[in-house]
């Protein structure tokens, strides 16, 4: 419980658990693969390989939020995310903020937030405000801040921190737009196809389900309604990114798409009827 006293947003990585060991090993494999691919392409970048490894880990972590009963879905998400990273580099920042938003909505940690988490909420709010692709992420996080039981006694402070963060991000986005102009985004037919695929995966993933896993605190079973909401949020994040950011926007959040897609696949082929 020491970790819970420090943060109610972060989750531990107990290496005694098999799926966590898979996550660490898969991240290392992803870095190795990206180094090899970079060497083969003659554009080797250790930093890019490390960032790709982080993106693959984010896919695993997101899938663990969306499908807590099926660790295999997270492993499959890592494979998909690695394939996406070979084609084009996802955004670690955008994917990480989206993953945290999904985690908050899902309620998988199950412990009260701390003062550190309030500061983190301010940073997340700023990130979601400054990036057009992340504007939608602020909506479910805001709903969480206003209503989630785990916010507890820090609710008022958390509200202020999040709102100030979002407004600061929006102000920075406006200042940058005035200086450099809004990004010139071309929304192609391919982007709409990706949007449709994300929407279909979301609808399959969000069908009525059961969840047997416990929260990290061990005090209660994970709320199935919140898991469904998290799946809807994940699909909405990806669709928004594709519509507002085009192919680049979709690819920036590819780890979340990988997690959503494997969740849908597991719902169809592995989950008991």
Give the model's pLDDT for residue 105. Answer: 96
Instruction: Please list the residues that pair with 221 across neighbouring strands.
Output: 214
- Give the pLDDT score at 4: 42
Q: Please give the average pLDDT of every successive group of 10 residues along the chain, which has 273 residues.
A: 64 91 98 96 94 98 96 97 96 97 95 94 96 95 96 95 97 93 83 96 92 90 96 97 94 97 92 58
Q: Tell which phi-psi region holds residue 128, choosing left (phi > 0), alpha (psi between -120 and 50) or beta.
A: alpha
Alpha helices in 9-154 (DSSP H): 18-41, 46-66, 71-87, 92-106, 115-130, 138-147
pLDDT of residue 183: 78
Q: How far apart (Å, rounded) are the C-alpha atoms in residues 175 and 172?
A: 5
Closest CA to 245 of 173, 170, 195: 195
Label residues 142-168 b or e (16+ Cβ within 10 Å = b). Answer: bebbeebebbeebbebbbebbbebbeb
Per-residue pLDDT, 168: 97
């Amino acid at each position: 419980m020491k970790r819970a006293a420090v943060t109610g947003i972060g989750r531990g990585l107990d290496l005694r658990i098999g799926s966590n060991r898979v996550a660490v090993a898969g991240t290392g494999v992803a870095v190795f693969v990206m180094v090899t691919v970079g060497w083969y392409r003659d554009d080797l970048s250790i930093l890019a390989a490390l960032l790709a490894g982080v993106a693959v880990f984010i896919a695993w972590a997101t899938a663990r939020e969306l499908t807590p009963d099926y660790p295999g879905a997270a492993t499959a998400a890592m494979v998909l995310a690695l394939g996406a990273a070979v084609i084009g580099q996802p955004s670690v920042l955008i994917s990480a903020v989206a993953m945290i938003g999904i985690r908050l909505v899902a309620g998988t940690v199950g412990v009260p937030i701390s003062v550190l988490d309030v500061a983190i909420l301010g940073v997340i709010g700023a990130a979601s405000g400054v990036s057009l692709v992340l504007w939608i992420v602020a909506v479910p996080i805001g709903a969480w801040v206003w209503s989630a039981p785990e916010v507890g006694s820090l609710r008022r402070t958390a509200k202020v921190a999040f709102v100030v963060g979002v407004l600061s991000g929006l102000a920075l986005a406006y200042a940058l737009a005035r200086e450099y102009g809004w990004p010139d985004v071309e929304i192609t037919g391919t982007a709409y196809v990706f949007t449709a695929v994300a929407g279909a995966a979301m609808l399959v993933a969000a069908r009525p389900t059961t969840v047997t896993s416990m929260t990290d605190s061990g005090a209660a079973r994970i709320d199935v309604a919140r898991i469904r909401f998290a799946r809807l949020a994940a699909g909405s994040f990806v669709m928004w990114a594709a519509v507002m950011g085009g192919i680049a926007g979709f690819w920036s959040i590819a780890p979340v798409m990988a997690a959503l897609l494997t969740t849908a696949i597991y719902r169809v082929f592995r989950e008991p009827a």
